[in-house]
């Protein structure tokens, strides 16, 4: 089973700076992913010109099962749209929910969420995108910890944290970082000349990690992160 974490920056092509669904779909297809966790995705709300991006990528990649997790509603002038995480999957989604990460007090920045999906193959997938400030990241880790299943659970997303940051340690105590399969140091952001790794795929120890990679693909502003996992 090939899984992939991909921050699409709302499907904005990094080079041309235009929405390009086919480019994002081609990236997913090139990586051969069966399950994809997507960050910074838009969806439609009332009076919005935006597309249902998860549904579009699902159709273009033939990963026909999808779910969008709304973190915030963005209002610009007279329009609004939903913004958050998504999953597209080759395997049917039995159930899915959106779990909001508590905002720090006083609130600054944007509300984040964890997408939690149970798939027909028995795997639970968590997709998240951490905030930029330490207090937001600590809240995100706590929310993730509360939702990790003991068996067959995968966590992926843009953590906005580099691997040496101790904030991640509670997750490392419960799950295995698929980056352990990297043959050399791999970085994920920015995609053209990456200088840091902030994207992750974790798995519970009952699953066997066969391989992992951050392919040198420039589509979004993040490179995709992939992992091959035997369940």
| Average confidence (pLDDT) per 10 residues, the chain, 231 residues | 98 97 98 98 74 95 97 83 96 98 90 98 98 96 98 98 98 98 97 98 98 98 98 92
Neighbouring C-beta atoms of residue 10, cutoff 10 Å: 18
Q: For residue 87, which phi and psi values (nearest 5 degrees)?
A: -135, 140
pLDDT at 46: 60
Q: What is the pTM of this model?
A: 0.96
Distance (Å, whole) CA 13 – CA 21: 9
pLDDT at 75: 81
pLDDT at 47: 57
pLDDT at 67: 97
pLDDT at 49: 63
pLDDT at 76: 76
In the numeric block, the tokens 């984040």 are attached to: 112
pLDDT at 48: 63
For the chain, the first-to-last Cα distance in angstroms comes to 8
pLDDT at 79: 78
Going by C-beta distance under 8 Å and a sequence separation of 6 or more, which residues neighbour residue 92?
Answer: 65, 119, 120
pLDDT at 45: 65
């Amino acid at each position: 089973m090939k899984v992939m974490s991909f921050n699409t920056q709302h499907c904005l092509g990094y080079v041309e700076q235009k929405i390009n669904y086919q480019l994002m779909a081609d990236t997913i297809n090139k990586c051969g992913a069966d399950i994809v966790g997507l960050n910074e995705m838009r969806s439609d709300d009332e009076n919005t010109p935006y597309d249902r991006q998860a549904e579009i990528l699902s159709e273009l990649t033939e990963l026909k099962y999808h779910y969008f997790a709304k973190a915030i509603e963005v209002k610009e002038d007279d329009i609004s749209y939903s913004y958050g995480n998504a999953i597209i999957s080759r395997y049917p989604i039995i159930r899915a929910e959106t779990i909001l990460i508590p905002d720090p007090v006083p609130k600054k920045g944007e509300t984040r969420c964890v997408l939690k999906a149970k798939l027909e193959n028995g795997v639970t997938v968590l997709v998240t995108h951490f905030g930029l400030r330490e207090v937001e990241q600590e809240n995100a880790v706590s929310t993730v910890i509360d939702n990790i299943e003991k068996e067959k659970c995968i966590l992926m997303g843009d953590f906005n944290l580099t691997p040496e940051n101790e904030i991640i340690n509670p997750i490392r105590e419960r799950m295995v970082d698929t980056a352990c399969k990297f043959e050399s140091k791999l970085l994920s952001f920015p995609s053209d000349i990456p200088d840091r790794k902030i994207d992750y795929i974790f798995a519970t120890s009952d699953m066997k990690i066969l391989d992992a990679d951050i392919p040198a693909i420039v589509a979004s502003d993040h490179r995709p992160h992939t992992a091959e996992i035997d369940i």
